Amino acid sequence: MPWTNQRNKQLIERARRVIPGGMYGHQSTAILPDVYPQFFTRAEGARLWDADGNEYIDYMCAFGPNLLGYRHPAVEAAVSAQRRLGDTMNGPSEIMVELAEQFVSMVSHADWVIFCKNGTDATTMAMMTARSHTKKRKILVAHKAYHGSAPWCNPFTNGTVPEERAHILHYEYNNPASLQDAFRTAGDDVAGVFGSAFRHDVFENQDLPTREYAETARRLCDKTGALLIVDDVRGGFRVARDCSWSRVDVQPDLSAWGKAIANGYALSALAGSEKARAGAQGIFVTGSYWFQAIPMAAAIATLNEIRNSDYLERTEKTGAMLREGLASQAANYGFSLRQTGPVQMPMILFDDDPDLRLGYCWVAEALTRGVYIHPWHNNFICAALTESDVKLTLDATDQAFSVLKKRRPTLEPPEQLKARFDRLHEATLTAAN
Amino acid sequence: MPWTNQRNKQLIERARRVIPGGMYGHQSTAILPDVYPQFFTRAEGARLWDADGNEYIDYMCAFGPNLLGYRHPAVEAAVSAQRRLGDTMNGPSEIMVELAEQFVSMVSHADWVIFCKNGTDATTMAMMTARSHTKKRKILVAHKAYHGSAPWCNPFTNGTVPEERAHILHYEYNNPASLQDAFRTAGDDVAGVFGSAFRHDVFENQDLPTREYAETARRLCDKTGALLIVDDVRGGFRVARDCSWSRVDVQPDLSAWGKAIANGYALSALAGSEKARAGAQGIFVTGSYWFQAIPMAAAIATLNEIRNSDYLERTEKTGAMLREGLASQAANYGFSLRQTGPVQMPMILFDDDPDLRLGYCWVAEALTRGVYIHPWHNNFICAALTESDVKLTLDATDQAFSVLKKRRPTLEPPEQLKARFDRLHEATLTAAN
């Protein structure tokens, strides 16, 4: 069946009537190439089907939650069993205790955990715990780092007031001097320092945390009594079977988790060390569905796979295979790629492509050939992706490079991206006035 | 099998090691009577089983989400069907459009809807939309009303900074003069006014909104350009098949929903009128699991039941039967109850019981006889509760009144409540300094 997007277009028209803009949030395709489908019907393993029935080998994993493969048998079996008992009740199921015990046993720095729903819940609770523990106010975050869409951390300021960010200070990721400066600016008032698993900002090259940066953060926190917070919502269990900063041997006081921990079921978590326990116990945090048993059953099954399978090594292997294949193809066609970050969470950008016209053309050509790659957000590789999937992928991307080479002279900057940047720029200016 | 709580106690001990305080949030039993189970194993219809295997006729409905009965067949069938397809994917399923269309068709004031996870997500998005629409800052909320646990609305201030509540002003629910005063204090800077479905504050009598209060709120918003927001997270679809304020013929601009809309699956929503659409479209809001298809499938099935069954009339009938039965029993034993709010969301307090010693003894005696009633939060009645369940309930509560009468002279104020109030008081003072 040839690729088509008629049904998707009809759905977007219907959606525009009953949803502002037709869609919202990080899964909106408004500024992606036109061919990107907004609506999906089905998912299985490393594959997705959109509303028109097109099949894709998937490199976004639902923006992270799909770690083991969509509808992973062990996770689904656990969910089926729990569904026969109950989900949202007057209190948690006892499996919450089991899950907390397992989580704490797997994350070296963690002595306790609090479960919630959104990644933003976990990062906001981290901020509150740091303030509760220190009785101080300032929160240091890396410039451009995403920690959620609550007013204090929203990347866009429209609909917020400046006071909501009153004590948020910025530093440059992987820059110890900049972090030191931020501490100096904050005086004796630093409650917490956020650092992402690695630098995974949109539109940018990715960077693993340097040992010097991570150790400086740890040392400055210890010196001042501030809590060190690793935001592992996106990277958690994708680069290590422990907190991501375990790879540079630095233990935070708090870590925020979500996405992959229940393989797509709605669960996030704040984990903490003994030192931070009283601070966490002193804050009031809750949500209508935070004690659902089904996502916790899914998480227990997911953690079991994380401990007992080679899921991580498999994603590293297929990720490396993809990276090498793409680099070689790009060179063959006279392009040069910036492939950064962990191979299993690849950011794929083109050199000499400031307005993303090359990237947009290339991913669109890959998409209509059955490969879903994101042009400016890090991608994700799930453990269900096989080497044969990567080969099929490389067949499609080879054709995409070939088309790109032919079309290169006539490409224009992506209109949808320009409009978006203008609008956001305007919104930011308006809100700042 | 005689009532026992050995397993619950063991679980609490285990939980204390790996979860701060052993539990957190609105489902914590820390300040409930000792016999209240923290952990549940199973739920079906109007019944719950705790970790020790004790069976309860349930009047809390998971604090609201259980509207039709736990594991309602039509909802579970929809979930089973959707699970075979997919849940968290690279974008929503097309059923999000269908759900939005249905939602908008059922809520008179709504022209659009945005789905999210927590009730707090929906109320925070309402605040952001009001600020985005008006470009003003002040948000008026009723004193003591609960709108979530984000820093701007958290009932406790520990872990937050005063700036996060900088533009939040308070008025008295159902008091038009007080609302007018708040508008005067805010000057020409009111972005939005929150009003709950009805006054359902903890520890207090409940009150339906008066027509005068609701109309005053509408008029002042129209006059100043502020948006009127009904927080229907708790009351939504429990008092009407439309926004709760439809009962006093007042249409808000925005309404926040959650709890009952997917019968326990994790889904909340912000609905709005045409006027507020651009404001909503201008804010960035999202979450890792907001586009899960399973809760949306559950919501479609739930809305179908809401439209096509007599679920509401049944909860009103069993609720009235319970209220009359309890009033009569109380009188027989020489007690007087304050039963306030809609009969299907009953708040049950004792007259002459300032420290809740009567209430705590009575609900504990009912609990160990198989009836789960909350002593200071409004209760909830689901559509699966039968008249025969109410009769069984009244058998148990009659015995509970009998015990209460005998024990009355020797009752002491509940220790756990006193300690809690002291600690919270202290926390509030500390955070304010």
> Which of B305, B290, B164, B258 has the alpha carbon at shortest distance from A286?
B258
**Is residue A83 less than 8 Å (CB to CB) from chain B?**
yes
How far away is chain B from the Cα of A137, in angstroms, using its nearest Cα? Answer: 7
**Is residue A90 less than 8 Å (CB to CB) from chain B?**
yes
- Cβ atoms < 10 Å from Cβ of A105: 12
> Which of B332, B334, B316 has the alpha carbon at shortest distance from B394?
B332
B413-422 own/partner pairs: CB under 8 Å, 24+ apart: B413/B355, B413/B356, B413/B357, B414/B31, B414/B33, B414/B355, B414/B356, B414/B357, B414/B360, B416/B30, B416/B31, B416/B32, B416/B33, B416/B34, B417/B31, B417/B355, B417/B356, B417/B360, B418/B355, B419/B31, B420/B30, B420/B31
CATH number at residue B351: 3.90.1150.10
Which chain A residue has the Cα nearest residue B269?
A19
**Is residue A230 less than 8 Å (CB to CB) from chain B?**
no
pTM: 0.96
Mutate to test the interface with B, among A39, A90, A238, A372 (most CBs of B within 10 A): A90
Please give the helix or strand (H or E) that residue B426 lies within, else none.
helix B415-432
How far away is chain B from the Cα of A332, in angstroms, using its nearest Cα? Answer: 31
**Is residue A6 less than 8 Å (CB to CB) from chain B?**
no
Model confidence at B433: pLDDT above 50 = no
pLDDT for B431:
54
Mutate to test the interface with B, among A12, A84, A97, A99 (most CBs of B within 10 A): A97
Mutate to test the interface with B, among A87, A96, A116, A232 (most CBs of B within 10 A): A87
Which residues does A251 contact at the CB level (< 8 Å), separation at least 6?
A108, A109, A218, A243, A245, A273
**Is residue B85 less than 8 Å (CB to CB) from chain A?**
yes
> Which of A398, A269, A393, A262 has the alpha carbon at shortest distance from A331?
A398
Q: Is residue B336 part of a domain?
A: yes
Nearest neighbour of A285 by CB, restricted to B25, B51, B280? B25
pLDDT for B2:
85
Model confidence at B388: pLDDT above 50 = yes
Which chain A residue has the Cα nearest residue B72?
A86
Mean pLDDT, residues A160-176 taken together = 98
Burial of residue A432, with CB atoms counted within 10 A of its CB: 0-12 exposed, 13-18 middle, 19 or more buried: exposed
Confidence class for position B32, pLDDT limits 50, 70, 90: very high
**Is residue A387 less than 8 Å (CB to CB) from chain B?**
no
> Which of B388, B393, B397, B386 has the alpha carbon at shortest distance from B46?
B386
Nearest neighbour of B283 by CB, restricted to A159, A164, A233? A159
A100 contacts in chain B (CB < 8 Å): 15, 18-19
pLDDT for A261:
98
Q: Do B284 and A158 touch (CB under 8 A)?
A: yes
pLDDT for A417:
87
Mean pLDDT of chain A: 96
User: Which of A428 and A327 is assigned the larger pLDDT?
Assistant: A327
B71 contacts in chain A (CB < 8 Å): 83, 86
**Is residue A66 less than 8 Å (CB to CB) from chain B?**
yes
Q: Do A159 and B129 touch (CB under 8 A)?
A: yes
**Is residue A380 less than 8 Å (CB to CB) from chain B?**
no
Nearest neighbour of A41 by CB, restricted to B62, B66, B85? B85
CB B123 within 8 A of CB B233: yes
In terms of domains, do A165 and A285 share one? Answer: yes
List beta partners, residue A171: A142
Model confidence at B57: pLDDT above 60 = yes
In terms of domains, do B314 and B286 share one? Answer: no
Report the complex ipTM.
Answer: 0.96
Domain boundary among B238, B255, B290: B290
pLDDT for B306:
98
Q: Is residue A392 part of a domain?
A: yes
Q: Do B266 and A268 touch (CB under 8 A)?
A: no
Q: Is residue B419 part of a domain?
A: yes
Q: Do B282 and A132 touch (CB under 8 A)?
A: no
Where in the sequence is the domain holding B179, given as residue range(s)? Answer: 94-290
Mean pLDDT, residues A198-213 taken together = 97
In terms of domains, do B273 and B318 share one? Answer: no
Nearest neighbour of A100 by CB, restricted to B19, B233, B283? B19
**Is residue A168 less than 8 Å (CB to CB) from chain B?**
no
Mean pLDDT, residues A137-153 taken together = 98
Q: Is residue A76 part of a domain?
A: no
**Is residue B428 less than 8 Å (CB to CB) from chain A?**
no
Length of chain B: 433
Mean pLDDT, residues A260-271 taken together = 98
Q: Do A96 and B65 touch (CB under 8 A)?
A: no
Confidence class for position A426, pLDDT limits 50, 70, 90: low
In terms of domains, do A246 and A332 share one? Answer: no
Which chain B residue has the Cα nearest residue A116?
B118
Model confidence at B135: pLDDT above 70 = yes
Question: What residues of chain A, 260 to 279, have a C-beta less than 8 Å from chain B?
Answer: 264-266, 268, 272, 277-279
Which chain B residue has the Cα nearest residue A101?
B18
Mutate to test the interface with A, among B88, B229, B265 (most CBs of A within 10 A): B88
In terms of domains, do B177 and B263 share one? Answer: yes
**Is residue A291 less than 8 Å (CB to CB) from chain B?**
yes
In terms of domains, do A63 and A122 share one? Answer: no
Nearest neighbour of A131 by CB, restricted to B91, B101, B160? B160
In terms of domains, do B277 and B317 share one? Answer: no
Nearest neighbour of B288 by CB, restricted to A24, A111, A259? A259
Mean pLDDT, residues A278-292 taken together = 98
**Is residue A65 less than 8 Å (CB to CB) from chain B?**
yes
How far is residue A286's CA from residue B330's CA, in Å, rounded to a whole number?
Answer: 34
Total domains present in chain A: 2
Q: Do B286 and A26 touch (CB under 8 A)?
A: yes
CATH number at residue B127: 3.40.640.10
List beta partners, residue B45: B70
Confidence class for position A2, pLDDT limits 50, 70, 90: confident
Alpha helices in B107-204 (DSSP H): 119-134, 176-186
In terms of domains, do B256 and B140 share one? Answer: yes
**Is residue B283 less than 8 Å (CB to CB) from chain A?**
yes
Apex CA B66: angle with CA B63 and CA B72, to 5°?
A: 165
Q: Is residue A398 part of a domain?
A: yes
**Structure tokens that stand for A254 in this block:** 């708090």
Q: Do A86 and B42 touch (CB under 8 A)?
A: yes
Model confidence at A284: pLDDT above 50 = yes
Q: Is residue A242 part of a domain?
A: yes
pLDDT digits (tens, 9 = 90+) for A61-80: 999 999 999 999 999 999 99
Apex CA B299: angle with CA A29 and CA A125, to 5°?
A: 70
**Structure tokens that stand for B6 in this block:** 């050995």
In terms of domains, do A122 and A248 share one? Answer: yes
Buried b (16+ CB within 10 A) or exposed e, B222-252: eebebbbbbbbbbbbbbbbebbbbbbbebbb
Q: Is residue A297 part of a domain?
A: no
CA B345 and chain centroid, separation: 9
Nearest neighbour of B158 by CB, restricted to A60, A156, A283? A283
pLDDT digits (tens, 9 = 90+) for A311-364: 999 999 999 999 999 999 999 999 999 999 999 999 999 999 999 999 999 999
Nearest neighbour of B62 by CB, restricted to A26, A90, A132? A90
Q: Do A285 and B24 touch (CB under 8 A)?
A: yes
Nearest neighbour of B85 by CB, restricted to A42, A150, A291? A42
pLDDT for A262:
98
Q: Do B91 and A38 touch (CB under 8 A)?
A: yes
- Please report, rounded to a whole number, the percentage of residues in chain B having pLDDT higher than 70: 96
CA-based torsion, A419, A421, A422, A424: positive or negative: positive
**Is residue B62 less than 8 Å (CB to CB) from chain A?**
yes
pLDDT digits (tens, 9 = 90+) for B374-386: 999 999 999 999 9
Confidence class for position B199, pLDDT limits 50, 70, 90: very high
pLDDT for B75:
98
Q: Is residue B26 part of a domain?
A: no
In terms of domains, do A247 and A321 share one? Answer: no
**Structure tokens that stand for B383 in this block:** 């559509």
Mean pLDDT, residues B262-288 taken together = 98
Mean pLDDT of chain B: 96
In terms of domains, do A204 and A122 share one? Answer: yes
Cβ-based contacts under 8 A for chains A and B: 340
pLDDT digits (tens, 9 = 90+) for A92-126: 999 999 999 999 999 999 999 999 999 999 999 99
B86 contacts in chain A (CB < 8 Å): 40-44, 48, 70-71
**Is residue A256 less than 8 Å (CB to CB) from chain B?**
no
In terms of domains, do A400 and A266 share one? Answer: no
